[in-house]
Amino acid sequence: MLYLGCHLSASNGNVTMVNTAMELGANTFAFFTRNPRGSRAKEVDIADCERAMKLLSENHFGKLVAHGAYTMNLCTAREKDRLFAWDILKDDLYRMGFLPGNFYNFHPGSHVGQGTEEGIRQIVAALQYAMEQDSPVTVLLETMAGKGSEVGGRFEELKAIIDGVGSEKIGVCMDTCHVYDAGYDIVNDLDGVLQEFDEIIGLDRLQALHLNDSKNPFASHKDRHECIGSGSLGLETFQNIVNHPKLKGKPMILETPNELPDYAREIALLRQMERE
Ligand code: ZN
Ligand code: FE
Ligand code: FE
């Protein structure tokens, strides 16, 4: 089963997102747990969560891939700001508990000059602080482009975070634009990249994908998303991805620079690419 979706606005609640997703031909979706720029989050609407969960199961959706705020930096240098970010993570995971069984993906963080090792140490500490023992949420670390001081541009860094946390409820979301920008050649050697992922992290940890083309060439460490087929990855790469046996059944989320009608077009295009 191909689970495809895109980023949706959470401002009208979960049930609205499920209905919008269906109108777009999606059977999963992503949303920001709070305003991506600010940090305010609304009260949890438990009735809305329960109705959404029922709709998702009735309509055979794949797992949702919520996205933490871009501004949440778990390894920022100033301790006061860092601890604030850790509390945001904790609150996000608490909220996601009302949509049990789904994923919460986030950018691991930027170490802002503290060094990758210290960044990883702080991200691990943040997750140990925020993750509850019996939480129904699996946390996903996003593969990053390696822009600036970003942590998570190398599979080894994600592996170090996963090992440091030592939980079953932590996995990885592979962003196609980011990995290509980071220097993993999914255009010419998707099999090789997945094999490397398997050797370093383990493919059982790969839980979701972000499908984005890239505005920049291989290993550029830039992170600028392009529409599917219009960038340096190209249509064939996405055809390989949606048909790859090792990626089967994983939710795939579009984060391309589009409005909703264009998302619907891209979802339809990707569905057409799926070989029976
Ligand atoms: Zn992201
Ligand atoms: Fe992404
Ligand atoms: Fe990105």
Q: How far is the CA of 239 from the centre of ligand 2 (A)?
A: 19
State the total domains in the chain: 1
Average pLDDT score over residue span 115-133: 97
Do 12 and 24 meet the contact criterion of CB atoms below 8 Å apart?
no
Q: How far is the CA of 132 from the centre of ligand 1 (A)?
A: 23
The confidence score (pLDDT) of residue 276 equals 60
- Radius of gyration of the chain, Cα coordinates, nearest whole angstrom: 18
Structural domain range at position 237 = 3-273
The pTM (predicted TM-score) of the whole model is 0.97
pLDDT over 80 (residue 185)? yes
The confidence score (pLDDT) of residue 39 equals 63
C-alpha dihedral over 58, 61, 62, 66, to 10 degrees? -110
Mean pLDDT, the chain, rounded, equals 96
The confidence score (pLDDT) of residue 69 equals 93
The confidence score (pLDDT) of residue 275 equals 81
The confidence score (pLDDT) of residue 209 equals 98
Catalytic residue check, 236: no
Query: End-to-end CA distance of the chain, in Å?
Result: 10
Average pLDDT score over residue span 8-12: 94
- Out of 67, 95, 111, 205, pick the active-site residue: 67
- Out of 111, 184, 225, 266, pick the active-site residue: 225
| Protein residues near ligand 1, an ion, with CB under 5 A | 142
Alpha-carbon distances, residue 83 vs 129, 130, 161, 167 (angstroms): 10, 11, 18, 21
Q: Distance between CA atoms of 110 and 150, rounded to whole angstroms?
A: 4
Catalytic residue check, 275: no
Catalytic residue check, 111: no
Q: How far is the CA of 142 from the centre of ligand 3 (A)?
A: 9
Q: What is the CATH number of the domain that holds 183?
A: 3.20.20.150
% residues pLDDT > 90 (the chain): 95
The confidence score (pLDDT) of residue 38 equals 60
Q: Which ligand is nearest to the CA of 216?
A: 3
The confidence score (pLDDT) of residue 35 equals 74
pLDDT over 80 (residue 147)? yes
pLDDT tens digit string along 232-259?
999 999 999 999 999 999 999 999 999 9
pLDDT tens digit string along 23-72?
999 999 999 998 766 667 778 999 999 999 999 999 999 999 999 999 99
% residues pLDDT > 70 (the chain): 98
Q: How far is the CA of 263 from the centre of ligand 3 (A)?
A: 17
Q: How many CB atoms lie within 10 A of CB 149?
A: 17
Q: How far is the CA of 225 from the centre of ligand 3 (A)?
A: 6
- 156 or 34, greater pLDDT: 156
